[in-house]
Amino acid sequence: MSDIANAFDNITTAINTLDAQHAADIDPQNLMTVEAVQKVLNRSRASVYRYANTDALILNPPFEHKRLNPEARQHKEDPLMFHPNEVARFAQDVLGIKQVTIEISQPTETLTHQLLRQVLAELKVIRELIEQR
């Protein structure tokens, strides 16, 4: 029975990892990637990187009003992420764009995620039955 419990734990971990990856795509804080900022500002990717307040020597440089300030990062390899309010502030104050509309929509759940949730529910039932014995 411990083999079944271990298998269940492994599958649960795998599903939770997939959910975490999906959550990272959605991002609970609704942070924007460089590509999203590029679309909103109607600028090239290179322009977004030029606008961004980054420094090769400092991981999280201090706030600079004339630059697009990314959210704090834990590691240098972490992608630049921007809060929608910061993008709107930058667009209005620095670029002079009058009307800024930033719309954040969550992607629809994929069939894979639905199937994994069903598998997880079935495995939970199986585990409960095993633990009752």
Q: Which of 25-34, 50-59, 112-121 has the lowest mean pLDDT?
A: 25-34
pLDDT at 21: 45
Among residues 98, 73, 83, which one has the least CA distance to residue 31? 83
Q: Which amino acid is at 31?
A: L
* Average pLDDT across the chain, whole number: 80
Give which of 13, 22, 18 is closest to 123, Cα–Cα: 13
Lowest mean pLDDT of 21-30, 45-54, 84-93, 104-113, name the range. 21-30
- Residue 6: Cβ-neighbour burial (10 angstroms; 0-12, 13-18, 19+): exposed
Say whether pTM exceeds 0.85. Answer: no
